[in-house]
């Protein structure tokens, strides 16, 4: 029986890195030597290691509070629940990412999570759930060494690529569904990540880059679909992330000085005096998703010196629930694993060291 693992040259190096360096950082609060790993770490894993450096600087009490919250959302079948209850592939990926950042090492949790993912592989799932499945399985294997897809066929990665290419549109981007006509900035970013994880080349990357760059507007930010005129914080973060991932496959520097300055100016325009980021210039209240993506983008662009860190930390911590987890915004009365990941990730950035 074929036993699928993510590419060996990734898993061996990064599994070793994860177990030795991330857990060491959680104990010693020292930076992780990500740059010393060869080949270069894929975006999503590098991001997790980067955030882990900052999370390691939180107090044990704060980390444990949120660890218990994430663990409390694991269901009997091994998956993690969203706000509606019951295991959900989308929320499952966020819960696992949150627990990885917090240094969770419970083998029972990992085995149950892997069993849930294997079960979902046998089902027909939506594209966004398929993407979440790939992200979660790759993270779990790198983090714990558990190969989730023990009985997958040898051409499973190519099957995924074939499914994703059904979403490709003439402008070079990817739509959210097979029925959708408009390419999505965020979906294009996610699909580029999947290709990178599977070590498959993104078909015609120049067209994808052209689509992403065409989504930028005069205010410096980016939009989600081309008919939009008002930029958003989250599409802007997705665009910058996509250019980072796809940029390695094109023969030009995508991060020009003008692009970096224009994006930074847009993001600073949606910065709220209370310490968070708003979704766009018309939204009066900041939220945790926009705050995390705004902070991450400024970090990625090398503009971290423009962030008011103390103010941002105060905003993020004000959204913490007393029993663990984070609210989406000041109006939110509930907590869930998605926004709790954004909260932990935001603190990881704010307590991290950009110079590392």
Res. 24: pLDDT tops 60: no
Residue 138 lies in a domain: no
Does any domain span residue 240?
yes
Burial class (CB in 10 A: 0-12, 13-18, 19+), 264: middle
C-alpha to C-alpha distance for 353 and 356, rounded to whole angstroms: 6
Least trusted range by pLDDT, from 31-40, 102-111, 183-192, 265-274? 31-40
Confidence (pLDDT) at 6: 53
pLDDT score, position 49: 86
Residue 216 lies in a domain: yes
Is residue 236, in this structure, part of any structural domain at all? yes
Q: Which candidate, 111, 191, 115, places its Cα nearest to that of 143?
A: 111
Q: How confident is the model at residue 40 (pLDDT cuts 50, 70, 90)?
A: low
Stretch 316-342: mean pLDDT: 97
Calculate ∠ Cα 298-302-308, nearest 5°.
Answer: 50
Q: What is the pLDDT of residues 225-261, one digit of tens each?
A: 999 999 999 999 999 999 999 987 787 788 899 999 9
Report pLDDT digits (tens) over 72-119.
Answer: 999 999 999 999 999 999 999 999 999 999 999 899 999 999 999 999
Q: How far apart are the first and last CA of the chain?
A: 43
Residue at 31 is within a domain? no
Token pair recorded at residue 339: 């926004």
pLDDT band of 148, cuts 50, 70, 90: confident
Confidence grade of residue 63 (pLDDT, cut at 50, 70, 90): very high
Cβ count near 75 (within 10 Å): 15
Percent of the chain with pLDDT over 70: 88
For residue 125, is pLDDT > 80?
A: yes
pTM score: 0.90
Please state the domain count of the chain.
1
Between CA 43 and CA 60 the distance in angstroms is 27
Q: Are 337 and 287 in contact (CB under 8 A)?
A: no
Q: Tell how far CA 81 is from the center of its chain.
A: 18
Report cis status (omega within 30 of 0) of the bond before 39: yes
3-state secondary structure of 184: strand
Mean pLDDT value of segment 3-24? 49
What integer pLDDT is reported at residue 22 of this predicted model?
53
The whole-number average pLDDT for the span 168-179 is 96
Q: How far apart are CA 112 and CA 209, in angstroms?
A: 39
Measured between alpha carbons, how far is residue 230 from residues 208, 236, 264, 281 in Å? 21, 11, 16, 8
> Per the domain annotation, does 119 fall within a domain?
no
190 domain-assigned: yes
Owning domain of residue 197: 159-265
Domain membership of residue 235 (yes or no) is yes
267-281 burial code (b ≥16 CB/10 A, e <16)? bebbbbeebbbbbbe
């Amino acid at each position: 029986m074929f036993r699928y693992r993510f590419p060996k040259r990734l898993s061996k190096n990064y599994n070793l890195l994860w177990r030795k360096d991330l857990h060491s950082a959680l104990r010693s609060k020292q930076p992780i030597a990500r740059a010393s790993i060869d080949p270069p770490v894929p975006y999503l894993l590098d991001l997790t290691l980067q955030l882990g450096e900052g999370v390691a600087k939180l107090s044990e009490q704060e980390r444990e509070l949120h660890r218990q919250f994430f663990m409390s959302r694991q269901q009997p079948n091994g998956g993690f629940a969203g706000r509606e209850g019951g295991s959900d592939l989308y929320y499952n990926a966020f819960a696992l990412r949150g627990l990885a950042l917090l240094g969770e090492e419970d083998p029972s949790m990992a085995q149950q999570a892997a069993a849930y993912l294997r079960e979902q592989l046998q089902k027909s799932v939506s594209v966004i759930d398929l993407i979440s499945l790939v992200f979660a399985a790759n993270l779990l294997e790198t983090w714990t060494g558990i190969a989730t897809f023990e009985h997958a066929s040898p051409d499973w990665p190519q099957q995924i690529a074939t499914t994703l290419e059904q979403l490709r549109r003439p402008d070079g981007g990817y739509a959210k569904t097979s029925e959708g006509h408009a390419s999505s900035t965020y979906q294009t970013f996610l699909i580029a990540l999947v290709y990178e994880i599977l070590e498959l080349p993104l078909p015609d990357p120049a067209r994808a880059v052209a689509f992403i760059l065409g989504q930028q507007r005069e205010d410096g930010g980016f939009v989600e679909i081309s008919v939009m005129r008002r930029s958003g914080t989250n599409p802007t973060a997705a665009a910058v992330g996509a250019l980072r991932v796809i940029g390695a496959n094109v023969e030009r520097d995508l991060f020009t000085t003008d692009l970096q300055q224009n994006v930074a100016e847009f993001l600073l325009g949606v910065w709220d005096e209370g310490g968070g980021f708003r979704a766009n210039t018309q939204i009066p209240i900041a939220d945790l998703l926009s705050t995390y993506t705004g902070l991450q983008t400024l970090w990625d662009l090398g503009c971290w010196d423009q962030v008011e860190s103390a103010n941002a930390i105060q905003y993020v911590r004000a959204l913490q629930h007393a029993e663990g987890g984070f609210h989406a915004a000041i109006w939110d009365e509930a907590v869930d694993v998605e926004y709790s990941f954004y909260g932990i990730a935001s603190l990881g950035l704010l307590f991290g060291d950009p110079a590392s």
